[in-house]
Amino acid sequence: MPPHRALTQKTQLLEPLKTRSFITAAFLCLTINLMGQSFMMNPYGCKDATLLNGKWNAIIDLFSRGEAMKFYQNRKPQKKTEFVEYSFSNGLRLDVPGDFNSQIPELKYYEGNVWYQRHFTATTNKNNRQFLYFAGVSYEAAVWLNGTEVGRHEGGFTPFQFEISDLLVDGENDLVIMVNNNRRVDGIPAMNFDWWNYGGILRDVFYVDRPRVHVRDYMVQLKKGRQDIIAGHVQLAGADTPQQVELTIAELNIKKQLKTDASGYVAFEIKAKPSLWEPASPKIYKTTVSIGEDLLEDEIGFRTIETKGCDLLLNGKPIFLKGINFHEEIPQRFGRAYSEADAAMILNEVRALGCNFIRTAHYPQNEHIVRLAEKMGLMIWEEIPLWQGIEFSNPAILKKAETMLREMIYRDKNRAGIIIWSIANETSPSDYRDKVLTGLVNLTNQLDGTRLVGAAFDNPRYDRATSTFRLNDKVAEVVDVVGVNKYMGWYRAFPVPPEQIKWEVAVDKPLIMTEFGCEALYGQHGPADEAHSWGEEYQEDLYRKNFIMFKNIANLRGTSPWVLFDFRSPTRCHPTNQDGWNRKGLVSDKGQRKKAWWVVKKYYENK
């Protein structure tokens, strides 16, 4: 079955198991819509999409009793003798989008169920189809409309949508969502990860009203290896006979009529000569895909990305990735980033550092960040959250990882800024892990052959006899780009002076130093050779030593220090220097640049 068809199949409905778990094992991370799923529109470019952001009513469900007590019915006493032991009215109010941990002090460390509720007004149109679209809910979500369950989703960093056509009523509709951010052994990420476990409705929510036949999905990019052919596909929903679809890129004088097959699918190739997207000139074109009155609008750039030996070629020219990692977090607010203003704050600091590349570690970050980065000319490494401690021997893990990968690629496949899809970070080799990750590499190539596939590894081994690092990892053999995370001088000392260290890692491929650095507390000073000082001078000197070592890596084609800002992490427990913060930032949690920031900026100015 072609990959685009596999993605459009309705999820087989499963009978929910009657257990006390939030989302039972039967769901296996699938996006379950009890009425059938249309997968997956772009509401940001849809004229019929209405934001449901704002203040929502909320109930903290400490003992996970809300589902048994039927909170989703949002009952009100109808007579004097009736008693209801909960109420959404006149209680807690939470911002959507926004994590619940940062909104009231009592929820700072909370992991568990929180119920959200709001009303919205709609006019039913039986000739149309209506949907709820969630850009991101962490980590699990169950959705009810007017007291009836609509669907469930697992995964905190990718979008999902449910059709609500048969449940919508004219006038006021009651929307209830149960959110849970408990860490899980069989979750992705799993029990232990080095960032804050923010829970809640973290990203935008839309109500969408579409014609019965509408544009479900589209891909518009340059054909692989060509700079003069725009290629892709369009998939309609609701079509059972061939249809006429129009693709328009006015600035390129393209107004193409496309005829679908009976299932609503059409692939196309169009001769064109677009100005190519690149960091110095991030050209994007207004693009529309329409059928009848249904129209989706996007801003799309065109570029090629490929490897040739150890080189990364953007539009056929070698590039060096001057990068940085960051979390989807505003440290000064102690909360998740979610808005266009948040994206601008983070990315303006990225550009000030002199970067042309970002790694959105360790999960797909919100669309405001991805789209603004593209407009600013930043290339992107985007990653699903397969991190340390994943239970690869559990058969459910592959299904969950595939779902997250599909949702990530579905959302961002038209973003020219994304040059690398990453399938994992710092996972330990095993037969189970190798099989799962190799399968994800293959799936990525099936879903989108226009980009590169990468992964980040933390397991190169050092040979003391030759002062050489080498990597023996089957997954490194099947990816296009190898990332290496190595904290030389922090978790272990430099074994010899940095100029004497040699690297023989993925010697026939581009290598990116995807993580390196150390912790320092802003304003704290000490000897440059004493790590235990947590001083800015040690961090500054360590960066200089790493840059010296990098000169010996013949296939190095990019660097991405860890990390831009100090970020919150419950696992960082040093009482005076960390206090729940990972202090590896080049910028403090208050926005102050540390000495190492200037070292990195100078390095990038000279690349």
> Quick one: 396 exposed, middle or buried, by C-beta within 10 A (0-12, 13-18, 19+)?
middle
Average pLDDT over residues 19-33: 42
Both 300 and 317 in one domain: the answer is no
Cβ atoms of 577 and 583 closer than 8 Å:
yes
Cβ atoms of 57 and 116 closer than 8 Å:
yes
pLDDT at 32 (0 to 100): 57
Above 50 in pLDDT, residue 547?
yes
Above 60 in pLDDT, residue 15?
no
Q: How confident is the model at residue 31 (pLDDT cuts 50, 70, 90)?
A: low
Pairing type for strands 160-163 and 128-134 reads antiparallel
pLDDT at 40 (0 to 100): 64
Average pLDDT over residues 3-32: 35
Both 256 and 218 in one domain: the answer is yes
Both 200 and 218 in one domain: the answer is no
Q: How many CA atoms lie within 13 A of 477 on its CB side?
A: 6
129: containing domain: 3-211
- For 320-437, list the strands marked E by DSSP: 321-325, 329-330, 335-336, 357-360, 379-383, 418-425
Above 90 in pLDDT, residue 265?
yes
Count: domains in the chain? 3
pLDDT at 28 (0 to 100): 40
Cβ contacts of 287 within 8 Å, gap of 6 or more = 220, 247, 248, 249, 297, 298, 299, 300
Each residue of 238-262: pLDDT tens digit? Answer: 999 999 999 999 999 999 999 999 9
Cβ contacts of 325 within 8 Å, gap of 6 or more = 358, 359, 361, 514, 515, 560, 561, 562, 563, 564
**Which of 267, 286, 306 is the endpoint of a domain?**
306
Strand partners, 287: 298
pLDDT at 36 (0 to 100): 39
- For 200-346, list the strands marked E by DSSP: 200-201, 205-211, 214-222, 229-237, 244-249, 254-259, 265-271, 285-291, 294-300, 305-308, 311-314, 317-319, 321-325, 329-330, 335-336
Taking the C-alpha atoms of residue 424 and residue 456, their distance in angstroms, rounded to an integer, is 6
Mean pLDDT of the chain: 92
The amino acid sitting at 331 is P
For position 486, which CATH number holds? 3.20.20.80
Both 318 and 302 in one domain: the answer is no
Each residue of 332-367: pLDDT tens digit? Answer: 999 999 999 999 999 999 999 999 999 998 999 999
Cβ atoms of 59 and 100 closer than 8 Å:
no
Both 232 and 191 in one domain: the answer is no
Q: How confident is the model at residue 10 (pLDDT cuts 50, 70, 90)?
A: very low
Q: How confident is the model at residue 21 (pLDDT cuts 50, 70, 90)?
A: very low
pLDDT at 44 (0 to 100): 87
Both 488 and 359 in one domain: the answer is yes
pLDDT at 33 (0 to 100): 54
Cβ atoms of 235 and 8 closer than 8 Å:
yes
Average pLDDT over residues 172-194: 95
pLDDT at 46 (0 to 100): 87
Both 143 and 237 in one domain: the answer is no
Both 446 and 514 in one domain: the answer is yes
pLDDT at 196 (0 to 100): 87
Above 50 in pLDDT, residue 527?
yes
By three-state DSSP, how is residue 63 classified?
coil
What CA–CA distances, in Å, run from 556 to 103, 504, 513, 550, 560? 43, 11, 8, 7, 11
Q: Please report, rounded to a whole number, the percentage of residues in the chain having pLDDT higher than 70.
A: 93
Both 368 and 228 in one domain: the answer is no
Both 245 and 292 in one domain: the answer is yes
Average pLDDT over residues 502-508: 98
Each residue of 117-160: pLDDT tens digit? Answer: 999 999 988 899 999 999 999 999 999 999 999 999 999 999 99
Each residue of 426-469: pLDDT tens digit? Answer: 999 999 999 999 999 999 999 999 999 999 999 999 999 999 99
Q: Which residue has the higher pLDDT, 126 or 3?
A: 126
Q: How confident is the model at residue 6 (pLDDT cuts 50, 70, 90)?
A: very low
Cβ atoms of 120 and 51 closer than 8 Å:
no
pLDDT at 42 (0 to 100): 81
The amino acid sitting at 181 is N
Each residue of 287-313: pLDDT tens digit? Answer: 999 999 999 999 999 999 999 999 999
Q: How confident is the model at residue 14 (pLDDT cuts 50, 70, 90)?
A: very low
Residue length of the chain: 607
For position 182, which CATH number holds? 2.60.120.260
Rounded to two decimals, what is the model's pTM?
Answer: 0.93
Q: How confident is the model at residue 192 (pLDDT cuts 50, 70, 90)?
A: confident
For position 220, which CATH number holds? 2.60.40.10
**Which of 152, 177, 211 is the endpoint of a domain?**
211
Both 89 and 160 in one domain: the answer is yes
Ramachandran angles phi, psi of 265, nearest 5°: -110, 140
Q: Which residue has the higher pLDDT, 1 or 29?
A: 29
**Which of 211, 238, 269 is the endpoint of a domain?**
211
What CA–CA distances, in Å, run from 211 to 49, 135, 258, 291, 294? 12, 21, 19, 10, 7
Q: Which of 29-33, 62-66, 199-203, 231-235 is the least confident region?
A: 29-33
Both 354 and 383 in one domain: the answer is yes
Above 80 in pLDDT, residue 25?
no
> Quick one: 598 exposed, middle or buried, by C-beta within 10 A (0-12, 13-18, 19+)?
middle
